[in-house]
A and B are shown apart, each in its own frame.
Chain A
Amino acid sequence: MLHIVACIKQVPDTKIIKMNPKTNTMDRASAPAILNPYDAHAVEEAVRLKKRYGGTVSVLTMGPPPAVKAIKKCIEIGADEGYMISDRAFAGADTLATSYALTKAIEKISQIQPVDLIICGKMTIDGDTGQVGPGIARRLDMPPLTSVNKVKEINIEEGYAVVHRKLEDGYEVIQSTMPCLMSVEKEINDVPYSSMTNMLKAARYQPVIWAVADLEDVERTQLGLKGSPTIVSKVWAPTKPSGGEMLEGDAVQQTEKLLNLLLEKKELFAVKGGSGVEL
């Protein structure tokens, strides 16, 4: 029986986010908190693997108390158990400190039930580094499998997994020993609407919540801001380009103007088999 841990994060919805133009900071209140979209796919994949091979799906998050909502969302998707680590000491963590804290929590979860597979999202939509997954894998000495867009096979008896790993212009098929960690692309699956049963279960569900003191062998200096080698020193809004020339007239006049401008600037193209534009 597989025990899969999916790591998930609650993030501000960056589609709706507003920036304060005066302070160049993010108006967090303007953005609703959501389950990181990539993590929904991670949980969905874990649930699908559970259906295929049997087992348990646990989700894990590090975050402030309201992040319980993100765990409940995962229960709706079909996860069995939820764990949250929440403590002031975790605040300000960069990816190195985040992967350290999550690793300590996964070690504790493995004492409850040994972990065969960890699934992360490809990245978050706020920090969007994609570095946390591989960080956890290294700390637990598991092979990291990033950019996974298909889990082809899991062989529990022989202890290996075969996955497709997305590349810029194709994919590679990789076989890895288990336990391992995968971070998954969105295209790996579609997350369907939640079933009524799962929604009811989620509404009642209370995750296990641990503070730093509940974890074992933690070096406090490796947590939070203290344990983070990177710091964000300056934040600014990207400069908005000022805009160029609007071409006036009706459709024919506009397109003719454009054509003439391109011709004047010698921005015309060697079309068939040509080497491109001269500027």
Chain B
Amino acid sequence: MSFEDYSGIWVFIEVKDGEIVPVSLELLGAGKELADKRGTELAGVLIGENVTHLADTLYEYGADTVYVYDDTIFKNYRTESYMKALLECCQKHKPEVILYGATSTGKDLASAVATDLPTGLTADSTILDIEKDTGLLLASRPAFGGNIMATILCKKYRPQMATVRPKVMKALTPEPGRRGQLIEETASIKEEDIRTKVLEIVQFTTQKVRIDEADIVVAGGKGLGSEKGFQVVHDLAETLGAAVGASRDVVEAGWVEHHHQVGQTGLTVTPKIYFAIGISGAIQHIVGMQNSGLIIAINNDPEAPIFQSSHYGIVGDAFEIVPLLIQQFKQVFNGEVVDHV
């Protein structure tokens, strides 16, 4: 394998309901830094049905080139069809790095592609860097349930691949009108070769505010004692127009559904304000919320580790503190203390 033949940083662009999934734009931002450092170009690989027009957005977010596979066969994500397209694209254009969002689609696709190429794949990276001269990708990730961080290298194979957690990289500010090169591709794949069919897609509608998109998240933990006790979290969230988050223990106890879980095995959130109420602050929880703008912890144990990770801490009983907060916020919103603003 001659490494000189491989160049360019690629990002797999995930599309859902006709829209680019946010993590793909975040990865273009991260990929741009790597590409600049290497003096190479940044490309997006766009696969789907009726997706070609999305290339314009990708240029604005930093892509120099967009490889597009636009065909009805790609209407729904299926491992075999997407993998085939990406493999062919890879063999033809030889990138040195490919990044994927660590979503259910991205992880599925990357694992399959890595096996077939074959090459190394770093999972769930949260930090990326590249050696300027050698092009060696330094991908770092949490392992052992978040207890350690490890830097993973792939020295002998190209392309180097990594899945990257949503919300840890930053998208560039889009540059309106920025243009790039569109390369239209066709994959040699036939419907009869694909062994899976998507029969139906069911979307949850109960989710009021998606916690990974909310500006404010009010999260509660096992310290609230019961599903009934957890109601204070819903109340504060409602007062603030915030989304409800939860620790894993709360989800496992069945007080709220899994899509509220913040952390290692839940969602990563980066709201402007994060309230952690009755949450102890286990590392697996912290990794999911530590990049929030402002973290406020309420816990009755002054030694709770959560205080180490918060900007403001209140030691006290949640059932006393939270209702007070709700009352005071309501007063502010009703214009009673507007002077401060």
Contacts and interface: CB of A to CB of B under 8 A. Distances in A.
Q: Which of A24, A147, A180 has the most CB of B within 10 A?
A: A147
A267 interface: yes
B121 A26 contact: no
A144 interface: yes
B75 interface: no
Given A19-B148, A230-B154, A268-B332, A129 B196 contact: no
Contacts of B142: 238
A230 to B, nearest CB: 4
Interface residues of A, number: 90
Contacts of B80: 143
Interface string A125-136: 111111101110
Contact of A26 (B107, B147, B207, B313): B147
B3 interface: no
B321 A234 contact: no
B312 A244 contact: yes
A167 interface: yes
B189 interface: no
Contact of B150 (A235, A258, A266): A235
B159 to A, nearest CB: 11
Interface string B209-252: 01000011000000000000000000000011100000000000
A172 B202 contact: yes
A261 interface: yes
A277 interface: yes
A246 B315 contact: yes
Interface residues of B, number: 91
Contact of B341 (A175, A234, A244, A268): A268
B156 interface: yes
Interface stretch (B26-34, B89-97, B109-117, B173-181): B109-117
A176 B293 CA distance: 44
B192 to A, nearest CB: 11
Contact of B241 (A127, A254, A274): A274
A128 B341 contact: no
Contacts of A173: 198-202
A165 B104 contact: yes
Contacts of B120: 94, 96, 228-230
Interface in B87-139: 103-105, 107-108, 110-112, 114-116, 118-124, 138
A158 interface: no
Contacts of A162: 199
Given A233-B153, A243-B310, A172 B144 contact: no
A241 interface: yes
Interface stretch (B49-57, B65-73, B322-330): B322-330
A233 B120 CA distance: 14
Given A14-B145, A135-B111, A260-B340, A168 B241 contact: no
Interface string A164-179: 0111111111111100
B37 interface: no
A238 B216 CA distance: 25
Contacts of B258: 187
Contacts of B324: 251-252, 255
A163 B314 CA distance: 46
A48 interface: no
A204 interface: no
B308 interface: yes
A130 B146 CA distance: 15
B311 A245 contact: yes
A224 interface: no
Contact of A129 (B124, B138, B309): B124
Q: Which of B210, B313, B341 has the most CB of A within 10 A?
A: B313
B316 A254 contact: yes
Nearest to A135: B115
Contacts of B150: 232, 234-236
Given A170-B201, A269-B241, A238 B152 contact: no
B202 A277 contact: no
A111 interface: no
B40 interface: no
Given A146-B107, A229-B156, A258-B312, 11 more contacts: A14-B146, A125-B145, A131-B110, A134-B79, A171-B202, A172-B199, A230-B153, A232-B150, A258-B325, A259-B325, A271-B240
Interface of A: 12, 14-15, 17, 19, 24, 26, 94-96, 99, 125-131, 133-135, 137-139, 143-147, 162, 165-177, 180, 187, 228-238, 240-247, 251-252, 254-256, 258-277, 279
20 contacts: A12-B144, A14-B144, A14-B147, A19-B147, A96-B119, A99-B115, A131-B121, A135-B114, A139-B115, A143-B79, A169-B259, A170-B202, A175-B196, A231-B152, A244-B311, A259-B329, A269-B241, A277-B216, A277-B272, A279-B294
Please list the 7 inter-chain residue pairs (A to B) with the smallest Cβ-Cβ separation, ordered nearest first. Answer: A229-B120, A14-B145, A276-B215, A129-B123, A134-B111, A230-B120, A263-B340
